Amino acid sequence: MVPSVGNEPSNLILEMLPADCRASLCARMETILLPTETVLYRPGESPEYAHFMTSGLTSIAVLMVDGRGPEVGMIGREGVVEGYHLLGPARVPSTGVVRIKGTALRIRFAELQKELDSNQPLRRYILESVQIRGLVGSQVAACNRLHGVEERLARRLLTIEDRIGQPEFYLTHESLSDMIGAQRTTVSLIAEGFQSRGLIEYSRGHIRILNRKGLESVVCECYAIIQKLMLNFGQGAELRGPIPLGVRTNRKASFG
């Protein structure tokens, strides 16, 4: 199956591949549904499959011995969930768990590893996506240390809308507080504040962004840095030759 570059769910890495390369890879993939809380990989384990997200959002969480599990990254249609596993032999200590239900194209992990040895376009886009993930993670680490919960919540909501391409999604209080590294009660208070100012609608985990501009006036500088990294994904054409036709025009749909 070849993912569409039109309105159908698709994965940006796969979209950017030359058509023959994409067809060959996708012929060995299968589409799967990813309900919320599906665990895609566990700490220290070699994954059986690699997942190219086509909709929804997977959260990368670090589980502590006391059971807390703050999110340290998230992957949507721009990435492959097991990207860090592809870089080398180190055991990956995090967990990949679906935060917003969606779909993915999956391939056996060992097969993808083999493919990377011979498929240069795939290799460069996966490396780039993992590089961006690392850079976003650094920005978020600094943000969590220096910026307030209100700014971080605005950043997270805007980033989620960018990643999934729609302003409405479902997230529990617990998920939201894990995502921004704050107490549930604090997150609830700030979410209520956003709601009373007409920025969002928030009811029993259903979140709808009503006023994007309003959230952008609250958010810290980190959002623009993260957004730019995401928008520039695959744009280094001067270094690596032309990007296949259709990718640039679809970019807005991919990242809102």
User: Minimum Å distance from CB 190 to Zn ion?
Assistant: 14
Nearer to Zn ion, 42 or 147 (CB): 147
User: Minimum Å distance from CB 178 to Zn ion?
Assistant: 17
Q: What mask of x and - would describe binding to Zn ion in positions 97 to 126, judged by CB under 5 A?
A: ------------------------------
For residue 155, count CB atoms less than 10 angstroms from its CB and return exposed for 0-12, middle for 13-18, buried for 19 or more: buried
User: Minimum Å distance from CB 213 to Zn ion?
Assistant: 18
In 3D space, the residue among 72, 20, 3, 5 whose CA is nearest the CA of residue 43 turns out to be 72
Nearer to Zn ion, 52 or 223 (CB): 223
- The tokens for 60 are 């990368």
Q: Does 147 bind Zn ion (CB under 5 A)?
A: yes
In 3D space, the residue among 79, 221, 70, 218 whose CA is nearest the CA of residue 142 turns out to be 221
Binders in 218-237 for Zn ion, by CB under 5 A: 220, 222
Residues whose CB is less than 8 angstroms from the CB of residue 69 and which lie 6 or more positions away in sequence, other chains included: 61, 62, 63, 95, 178
Handedness of CA 213, 215, 217, 219 (dihedral sign): negative
Q: Does 143 bind Zn ion (CB under 5 A)?
A: yes
Nearer to Zn ion, 84 or 223 (CB): 223
Q: Which residues bind Zn ion (CB under 5 A)?
A: 143, 147, 220, 222
